[in-house]
Chains A and B, each alone.
Chain A
Amino acid sequence: MLSRALRTSRPAGLRSNAFSRVALSKRTVTTDAASAHADKDAVPQEDDKPFQVQLSDESFETYELDPPAYTLDTTKKELKQMYRDMVSTRRMEMAADRLYKEKKIRGFCHLSTGQEAVATGIEHALTKEDDIITAYRCHGFAYMRGASVKSIIGELLGRRHGIAYGKGGSMHMFAKGFYGGNGIVGAQVPVGAGLAFAHQYNGNKNTTVALYGDGASNQGQVFEAFNMAKLWKLPILFGCENNKYGMGTAANRSSASTEYYKRGQYIPGLKVNGMDVLAVKAAVAFGKAYTAAGHGPMVIEYVTYRYGGHSMSDPGTTYRTREEIQRMRSTQDPIAGLKQKLIEWNVTTEDELKTIDKESRAAVDAEVKEAEEMLPPDATPQILFEDIYVRGSEPQFMRGRVPEENYYY
Chain B
Amino acid sequence: MSRLLRPASRIVSAASVRPVARSAVQSFPRVPAIVQSRGYAKESGNKEYTVRDALNEALAEELELNPKVFVLGEEVAQYNGAYKVTKGLLDRFGEKRVIDSPITESGFCGLTVGAALAGLHPVCEFMTFNFAMQAIDQIINSAAKTHYMSGGIQPCNITFRGPNGFAAGVAAQHSQDYSAWYGSIPGLKVVSPWSAEDAKGLLKAAIRDPNPVCVLENELLYGQSFPMSEAAQKDDFVIPFGKAKIERQGKDLTIVTQSRCVGQSLIAAEALKKKYGVEVEVINLRSIKPLDVESIVKSVKKTHRLMAVESGFPAFGVGAEILALTMEYAFDYLDAPAARVTGAEVPTPYAAKLEDMAFPNESVIENYAKKLLRL
Contact = CB atoms under 8 A, between A and B. Distances in A.
Interface residues of A, number: 51
A191 interface: yes
Given A174-B146, A190-B111, A387-B148, 15 more contacts: A165-B151, A184-B137, A184-B142, A187-B110, A187-B141, A194-B116, A198-B118, A221-B107, A387-B150, A387-B151, A389-B187, A391-B152, A393-B209, A395-B290, A396-B294
A208 B236 CA distance: 36
Contacts of B210: 389-390, 393
Contacts of A191: 110-111, 113-114, 117, 138, 142
A220 interface: yes
A389 B147 contact: yes
B148 A190 contact: no
Contacts of A168: 149-151
A231 interface: yes
Given A191-B138, A194-B115, A228-B111, A221 B106 contact: yes
B259 interface: no
B154 interface: yes
B21 interface: no
Contact of A393 (B70, B102, B120, B211): B211
A278 interface: no
A187 B153 contact: no
B289 A164 contact: no
B107 A190 contact: yes
B147 A193 contact: no
Among A180, A193, A224, chain B packs the most CB atoms within 10 A around the CB of: A224
A183 B141 contact: yes
Given A168-B150, A174-B150, A386-B152, A194 B211 contact: no
A19 interface: no
B178 interface: no
B183 to A, nearest CB: 12
A131 interface: yes
Contacts of A225: 107, 110-111
B328 interface: yes
Contacts of A199: 118
Contacts, number: 157
B152 A387 contact: yes
A166 interface: yes
Contacts of A201: 70, 96, 115, 120
A265 B120 CA distance: 30
Interface of B: 70, 96, 101-102, 104, 106-120, 137-138, 141-142, 146-155, 186-187, 189, 209-211, 241-242, 289-290, 294, 328-329
Nearest to A169: B149
B138 to A, nearest CB: 6
A4 B193 CA distance: 69
A231 B146 CA distance: 28
A164 B147 CA distance: 10
A113 interface: no
Given A388-B147, A390-B211, A193 B117 contact: no
A194 B151 contact: no
Contact of A228 (B102, B241, B242): B102
A388 B107 contact: no
A220 B118 contact: no
Contact of A395 (B102, B112, B152, B242): B242
Given A187-B138, A190-B109, A228 B101 contact: yes
Contacts of B70: 201
A302 interface: no
Contacts of A131: 118
Contacts of B153: 164, 174
A53 interface: no
Nearest to A391: B152
Interface string A169-209: 00010100001111110011111111111110110000000
Contacts of B289: 395
A202 B121 CA distance: 12
B104 A194 contact: no
Among B115, B141, B211, chain A packs the most CB atoms within 10 A around the CB of: B115
Query: 10 tightest CB-CB pairs across the interface, nearest first?
Result: A194-B114, A224-B107, A190-B110, A395-B290, A165-B151, A387-B152, A198-B118, A191-B114, A164-B151, A224-B104
A198 B72 CA distance: 13
Contacts of A391: 152
Given A187-B137, A191-B138, A166 B114 contact: no
B259 to A, nearest CB: 20
Contact of B114 (A163, A195, A393): A195
Contacts of A396: 242, 290, 294
26 contacts: A131-B118, A164-B151, A165-B151, A167-B150, A172-B149, A174-B150, A187-B110, A190-B109, A191-B111, A191-B113, A191-B138, A191-B142, A192-B114, A193-B107, A194-B111, A194-B114, A198-B120, A224-B102, A228-B104, A228-B108, A387-B151, A387-B152, A388-B186, A389-B187, A393-B209, A393-B211
A190 B112 CA distance: 8
A398 interface: yes
A227 interface: yes
A273 B242 CA distance: 54
Interface in A198-237: 198-199, 201-202, 220-221, 224-225, 227-228, 231
A403 interface: yes
Nearest to B118: A198
Among B110, B138, B153, B187, chain A packs the most CB atoms within 10 A around the CB of: B110
Among A191, A198, A201, A220, chain B packs the most CB atoms within 10 A around the CB of: A191
B354 to A, nearest CB: 34
A190 B72 CA distance: 14
B110 A221 contact: yes
